[in-house]
Chain A
Amino acid sequence: MIKLVDLYKSFGSLEVLKGVNLDIQKGDSMVVFGASGSGKSVMLKLIMGLLKPDEGEIYVDGKNINELKRPELDHLRTRFGMLFQGAALFDSMNVYENVTIGRAEHGGMTKEDRIECAKKNLEMVGLEGTEFKYPSELSGGMKKRVGLARALCMEPEFILYDEPTTGLDPVSADKINDLIINLRDRLKITSIAVTHDLYSAFRIGHRFAMLYQGKIRFDGTRQEMEESEDEVLKDFLSHSTIDADS
């Protein structure tokens, strides 16, 4: 379980998060949405310990991650997988090396097992046969899928998606959505996705939270969201280009 308690984060004079409270239960498929620049990605980085909050606590299975020492934090991070907005693949490594770097670094797997792990996960994301290609030879959608395979190779308990469909054409974006749904239903991994793409949010999420002006404005199911009388939420929904059946 992940619990965010009264999180504050500023960058210079810019206050991004102003008291975020959120609980993510085991098995949840949570989508945090909000306008661009509302602090969604910052929230994910705080959960991973990549940024330190100015105030507030983040608990993962009861452990306050801000109190962990570096080795403990590194160990905790191996329980997470993260898909970055731009995929964040290592340019100097081929796809196989990108996918298995976490495994290679933390040991416990022979080279044969790592090859097997890469093959299995690349097959899962529909990219079999690309092991020896470099990131510069891949399209944006393929990079995101390799990023997903890399996250999965760590066999995570939690997976964080930072704008998984941003910058992709509709077909590639839907492929990513299908993959996330597949992972959610098959592997039952607890997931948190941040996005401003409501079509994608409704496809991949079971629970939704709206981040607005540094706070969680809404937290609930899709039905609760559609029945909400909150003007800000209604305004955000009315400006999105999804139909009610999606």
Chain B
Amino acid sequence: MAFVADFGGLFIMVLEIFRSIPTVFKRIKLIFEQMLMMGVRSLPLVILTSVFTGSVTAWQAAYQFKGLVPMEWLGLTVAKTVFIELGPVLTSLVLAGRVGASIAAELGTMRVTEQIDALESMGINPVGYLVMPRLIAGMVMLPVLVMFANIIAILGGMVVSVALVNISYETFTGSIKAYVYIRDVVSGLQKSVMFGAIIALMGCYHGFNAKGGAEGVGLATTKAVVLASVLILVSDYIMATVLFNI
């Protein structure tokens, strides 16, 4: 029953967002503020996680290749894995924690302290004012962060490959240049647009529906992060089946 109510509530929120699209230029300052918060301020965390993601991918791949697959394929394996899967998914999961939680906590606090009611009482549509800018910022900034994450992860993988696995820089990059296609990069970015929307929507929806006091805000934050993470993984599988034909 609660699932049906949540689904209905989310559907109504999405309709409201579409209705508020004509006000997008009026909200441009708010959108940039959210882009700064979600994008620029998340960059250190994204760099830190992606450098280790790339490094461990290279190390694990080298371990599994040993004696079975020539090491000249190591660069290709790291790059494809990062572009198609690890870059978008791990960056999104990290941001579900950082950004999704932050949105849910902020809007949840605004709900329980009647700030959202105050907006409505002045004839300001809170979905247009609070949700739409966050959704657009999420959908724009996630792909940007994923691009950064991809580059840093591959650099991390390259450092490990050259320094610890003892293959040359040319060997590592040779297979990347030959076999990484533009569609590998684009498909990962397409997924990250969807993941950005999921993170922002889950944060906004659960924040908007927070009840009670601090406990309600905490619960809303937990729900936002957990559901965003689950939906990222589910939609990742669905999009993989659509984007990549075997």
Contact = CB atoms under 8 A, between A and B. Distances in A.
Interface of A: 45, 48-50, 70, 73-78, 80, 82, 84-86, 88-91, 101-102, 105-106, 150, 154
B122 A154 contact: yes
7 closest A-B pairs (Cβ-Cβ)?
A74-B123, A102-B122, A88-B118, A88-B114, A77-B123, A78-B123, A82-B121
Contacts of A150: 118
A63 to B, nearest CB: 15
B124 A105 contact: yes
A102 B115 contact: no
Interface string B113-147: 11101101111110001000000000000000000
20 contacts: A48-B121, A50-B121, A70-B19, A74-B124, A76-B123, A77-B123, A78-B122, A82-B118, A82-B121, A84-B114, A84-B117, A85-B114, A86-B113, A86-B114, A88-B113, A88-B118, A90-B118, A102-B122, A105-B122, A154-B122
A102 B120 CA distance: 10
Contacts of A85: 114
A119 to B, nearest CB: 19
Interface size class of B (residues with CB under 8 A): 10 to 19
Nearest to A74: B123
B114 A75 contact: no
A106 B123 contact: yes
Interface in B148-204: none
A184 to B, nearest CB: 20
Nearest to A76: B123
A75 B124 CA distance: 9
Contacts of B125: 70, 74
Given A70-B19, A74-B123, A89-B115, 19 more contacts: A48-B117, A49-B120, A50-B120, A73-B123, A74-B124, A77-B120, A77-B122, A78-B122, A82-B118, A84-B117, A88-B113, A90-B110, A90-B115, A91-B115, A101-B124, A102-B122, A102-B124, A105-B124, A150-B118
Contacts of B121: 48, 50, 77, 80, 82
A50 B122 contact: no
A102 B117 contact: no
Contacts of B114: 84-86, 88
Contacts of B115: 88-91
Contacts of B124: 74, 101-102, 105
A207 to B, nearest CB: 23
A45 B123 contact: no
